[in-house]
Structure 1
Amino acid sequence: MTQQQPIRCDTCAVRHRAVCGALSRTEIERLNAIAHHRTVPQGQAIVADQDTVASFANIISGVVKLTKAMSDGRQQIVGLQFASDFIGRPYREHSAYEVTAVNEVHLCTYDRGQFERLVREFPGFERRLFENTLDELDAAREWMLLLGRKSAEEKVASFILMVSKRIDVVGCQSGQAKGPAKFELPISRAEIADFLGLTIETVSRQFSRLKAKKIIGLDGARTVVVLDPDHLERMSSV
C-alpha cells in the first residue's frame, strides 16, 4: 500500500471547520497544491471595497472586519469573521466590502480561477460553500433582529456571546470547561458601538452593568472573562 505523503492541510487547525472540511483526501491534495499561506499585519486591508476579486481565503487565525463605505465617506462595520471563516464570494467579480485585519491574521489563500475550477469539479465542495453561504444568511438575519428589536443590554450581551463562541479563548478548550472563558475583544468600544447602532457611552455603561452583575469580568478595556455564560445566553435572547 502506498503511504500518503503528509501535506500542510494535515496539520491545519481549522480544516474540519472550514469549507474544505467536506473534501476527500484526493481533493484535499488538489486544493493544497493551489494554496498559499499569507500573514496580514494588524490594520492592513486584505481586499478593498469594490476591488476586483483575485483570490479567496480561509482564515487560519486572527479576526477580520467587513466594512462598507457610505455615501458621505463614513464606514460601517457590517461583520466580523474568525478562524475557519471563508473570505470572498466565488463567481462574483468585485468585493462587496472592505476586508481588514483586526489583529495579525494568518490566511490560506487560493487563486480565484483555480479555486472556482475545483469548486465546479468537486460537488461536495460546491455544497459546502452553499451551506456556508446559507449560514451567513442566517447570521445576517439574526443580526438584523439584534439591531432592530433588541435592547441595548441584549445587544451588548449578544455581541459578547458571539465573540466568546468564535474567537480563540483561554479557559475552555477541546469542548471541556477548564475555567471561565477569557478573551480579548477584537474591536474597540467605539467600533462596537458603531456595529451595534449604539453610542460609546451606552456600550461602556452596559459593560459596567454586566460586570456589576458578575456576568462578566473586565481586565482593562479589551479583556473579557465570561463568568456566567448561562446568564449571558439568557440576556442575549429576545
Structure 2
Amino acid sequence: MPLPPQARAVLLDLDGTLLDTAPDLIGALNTLRGEHGKTPLPEGHLQPVVSHGSAAMVQRGFDLAPDTAGFEALRQRFLALYRARVSQATRAFPGMDELIDLLDERGIPWGVVTNKPGWLTEPLLADLGYAPRAACIVSGDTLAARKPDPGPILLACKRLALAPCDCVLVGDAERDIEAGRRAGALTLAALFGYICGEDHVRRWGADGIISHPEEILRWLDPELLGQIPRQPEWAATGS
C-alpha cells in the first residue's frame, strides 16, 4: 500500500472530532424542552445534528422551521442553557488525548477550526485544558465566513506559518471536508464522530476516512514523529 501524503500539522474540527460535546448539547436541549412542558428526547434522535449548530438542534428538538415565530427566542435560550454547562459532561473522544499528548511530545503543531462561536469555543477549550496547548484556534465568528468556506482553514494555516498542503484537516461533517479541500489541505473524515446513516461519507471527496484518532498518525511526516518508544495502549487494544 502506498504511503499517504505527509502533513506537518493537524487541524481538528471541535464538535464530533476533538470532543464529544453531545452530552452537554443534548442536555441543554432537553432542559429547554422541559421548560416548555415537553419530555426529553432520546440521544439517538438528537446526536445526528449535534455537529450542525444551534439552529439544527432546536429544529430537530421542537420540529420547527427556522423561520417559525419564536424560533430565534428558543435558539437563544438553548445557547444560554448550553453555555451554563458547556464542559459539564463533554470529553475527548477515545484515543484523542493520547494522540494530542504524542503530538505535543514530538512538537507537532495542532489546532482547532470550528464553526462554534468563540464565546462557547474558548471557555470549553479552557475548561478542559486544551486552549494553552493548541497552536491555533479559529472559531465560527473569527472571520465573517465559516466552513465550508476555506477562509478559516487558510487562516489557521497562516497562524501555523505552514502551507495548506502541509496540514491535514480532520472533521466529521461534509462542510469540514469541503473547506479543507477548497483550502488545499489534506482531509480526513472521522467516522468516530457524529456521522449518521444520512451521510454519504465516501462522496465527500476526503483524502482518507478514519475510524480512530490514532489513524491520523499515518498522515504525518514520519521524520516529525520519530521513533515511538512503545505502542500506545489505545492502539494495542483498539479501544
Bin for the TM-score computed over the shorter chain: under 0.3
Greater strand content = 1
TM-score, normalization by structure 2: 0.27
Greater RCO structure (CA 8 Å; 6+ sep): 2
- Highest Rg: 1 or 2? 1
